[in-house]
Structure formats: C-alpha cells, structure tokens
C-alpha cells in the first residue's frame, strides 16, 4: 500500500519558512546585476524589509526572533538602532569591502561578527585605478572626444600626454586593493611609496606617516583607503598643494576622502595637473565643473563590478552565511585594524 501525505508532512514552502532568516535592508546592487538566485541557499531565507508595507522598526521587531544575520550594502546603515531591534543577529555580511556604513563598535559590543567582501574586488579595482591613471596621463578619454568631434582633421594633432613609467606614485591605504595597485605600478616601472594606518612589514616601499609628506614626494597620488572619521577630507588643500601643479590624483576609495570642493578649485587654477575619479562626495550627483575639464576622467563608481567579481561575491556571501549558520569559520571575517 502506498504511503499518502499527511498533515504532518511539511510542504516546501513551510520548510522555507522554518529556515533561519537573513534580513535585507535594501536590495544589494549585485541582485539586479547577476540575479538574486545567485545568492540563494537551502540553509537560509532572505527576509526583505523593502517588500513590506510595515514601518522598518515594526517589521524588524515582528520578525526579530527568526533573523540571525544581516546582509548589508552601502547606503543602508547598520547602526545601533537597527541592531537593538535584532537581538538574535550574530553576523553582519556586507557586499562591499568598505565598512563605513556598519557601526563596528556596536557590533563588537554585542558580539556580532562581521564579514566583508574581502579580496573579491581587489584585482578589478586595482585594474581600474591603473586604468584611470593611464587615461588621465595619456589623455585617452580626452583624445577620444577630440577624434569623435572631428577636431583632428580641423585643428591638427591633439596635445601629447605623459608616460606612466618612472612616475613616483604614492598609495594612500596599502590594504588588499592598495597592494594590488602597487604591484601593477611596479610592473610599469613606477617608484612606489605609501601611507597607511601602520607600516607594512611585508613590503619594501618607502612608508610615510604623513599624507602631506607622501604627496610632496609623488607625481601621482592614488586613494585606496576606506572611509572613516579619520579619513574624511584627509585629502585637503594642504595635501593637494603638496602634490603640486605637475601632480595627478586618482580616487577609487570613497568620494568623501577628498575635499572635493578644494580639488575642483585646484584643478581649475592649475594647482594640480589632473584627476581620475570613480567615486564622488554626492553620488550620483557629480559636480558639473568636472564635465568641462579635459584633464579629469570620470567613472560612475563601478570599479568593483565585473561579471567575474560579482560571481565570486555571490559565492563568498553565501559561503559566509552558511558557515555562520553551521558554526564553521567565516570565509572573510573582518578583523579590526588589519
């Protein structure tokens, strides 16, 4: 005799409901780029605050008993107010390398682990950093516009650019990304030096405790550090003045690390030679002054987004969440002052 289903047999939907919940405060950009299914797992279920009509605090309080982790992305702060509503949360996973949107001290106080994107983006961001530097030095984008506008035939050859090889390049923030930038620049024959929170024992590049001193001894400054209270507007008028009228700046960190108003003024007055920017202070609203500058190369904060890095990100995010829920070591746990 066949065995029939009984009321005690759980449907697939009911089994999903029993899974630990990972709350999403907003959809990560990767969801729209490679699909939410890339982040699916049979060990947890996403709970989306943005699909509910309830106020955020009410929604979180209603589901607080089942929410074990948070998947966050930049633009959706994970602060003390959020964490207070989620006493069962033991992990915050971010889809970014930077953690300026996460209240790290509050997470530490509550014993909540943090996992970020780790090394996933390092190669792609380093590639773009070098690409922006080459572009602004050799005037690639400006030359492209010159040709497309038919000016080559009308006005003759475009202004020549400057070579990368031999340039003294200073890296601000020699973490995962900064180190990859350094290796690429070294291969181009650049002379690399750096500023970071602390001197790195594994490199022989000259170390400068002071960013102004670094800038004064460089032809190009590449910003690779994260955003914090200490680094906000760290690249200010004195640093830009130290870099000088022959100096170039590239930013693939965060827009607020540079005092953008001062940078615009320096560019307009010829006090620095040019800039390559993937990040801005008021994204996606970019200062209109940049648009008329042929010595500035602009990119819409897309350094991390390649099909390869997004695939690796989805695997890392799922791996971290599954590891936490099965009491295994996290794949990319954030360690303070690493």
Tell me the catalytic residues: 254, 283, 301
If phi > 0 it is left, if psi is from -120 to 50 it is alpha, else beta; for residue 126 that is alpha
Q: What is the DSSP letter of 258?
A: B
What sign does the dihedral 289-29-126-224 (CA atoms) show? positive
What's the CA gap between 43 and 318, in Å, rounded?
A: 9
Q: Which residue has the tokens 């040019």?
A: 274
329 contact partners, CB below 8 Å, separation of at least 6: 323
Q: Which residue has the tokens 């032809």?
A: 219
CA 116 to chain centre: 10
* 3-state SS class at 50: helix
Query: Euclidean distance between the first and final Cα of the chain, in Å?
Result: 63
What's the CA gap between 94 and 116, in Å, rounded?
A: 5
Is there a contact between 225 and 178 (Cβ–Cβ < 8 Å)?
yes
Alpha helices in 159-236 (DSSP H): 176-187, 211-216
* 3-state SS class at 326: coil
């Amino acid at each position: 005799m066949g065995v029939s289903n009984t009321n005690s047999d759980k449907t697939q939907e009911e089994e999903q409901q029993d899974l630990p919940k990972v709350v999403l405060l907003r959809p990560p950009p990767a969801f729209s780029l490679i699909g939410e299914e890339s982040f699916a797992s049979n060990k947890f279920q996403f709970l989306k605050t943005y699909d509910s009509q309830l106020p955020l605090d009410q929604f979180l309080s209603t589901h607080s008993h089942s929410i074990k982790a948070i998947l966050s992305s930049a633009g959706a702060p994970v602060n003390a107010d959020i964490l207070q509503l989620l006493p069962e949360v033991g992990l915050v996973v971010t889809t970014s390398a930077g953690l300026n949107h996460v209240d790290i001290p509050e997470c530490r106080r509550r014993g909540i682990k943090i996992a970020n994107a780790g090394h996933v983006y390092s190669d792609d961001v380093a590639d773009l950093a070098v690409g922006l530097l080459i572009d602004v030095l050799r005037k690639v984008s400006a030359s492209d516009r010159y040709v497309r506008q038919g000016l080559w035939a009308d006005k003759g050859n475009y202004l020549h650019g400057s070579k990368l090889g031999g340039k003294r390049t200073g890296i601000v923030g020699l973490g995962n990304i900064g180190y990859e930038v350094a290796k690429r620049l070294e291969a181009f024959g650049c002379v690399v030096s750096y500023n970071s929170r602390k001197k790195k024992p594994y490199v022989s590049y000259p170390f400068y405790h002071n960013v102004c001193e670094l800038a004064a001894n460089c032809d190009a400054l590449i910003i690779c550090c994260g955003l914090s209270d200490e680094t906000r507007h760290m690249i200010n008028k004195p640093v830009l003045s130290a870099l000088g009228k022959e100096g170039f700046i590239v930013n693939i960190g965060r827009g607020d690390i540079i005092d953008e108003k001062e940078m615009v003024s320096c560019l307009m007055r010829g006090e620095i030679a040019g800039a390559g920017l993937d990040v801005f202070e008021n994204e996606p609203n970019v200062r209109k002054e940049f648009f008329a500058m042929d010595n500035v190369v602009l990119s819409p904060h897309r350094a991390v987004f390649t099909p390869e890095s997004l695939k690796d990100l989805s695997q890392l995010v799922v791996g971290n969440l599954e590891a936490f829920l099965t009491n295994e070591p996290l794949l990319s746990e954030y360690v303070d002052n690493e």
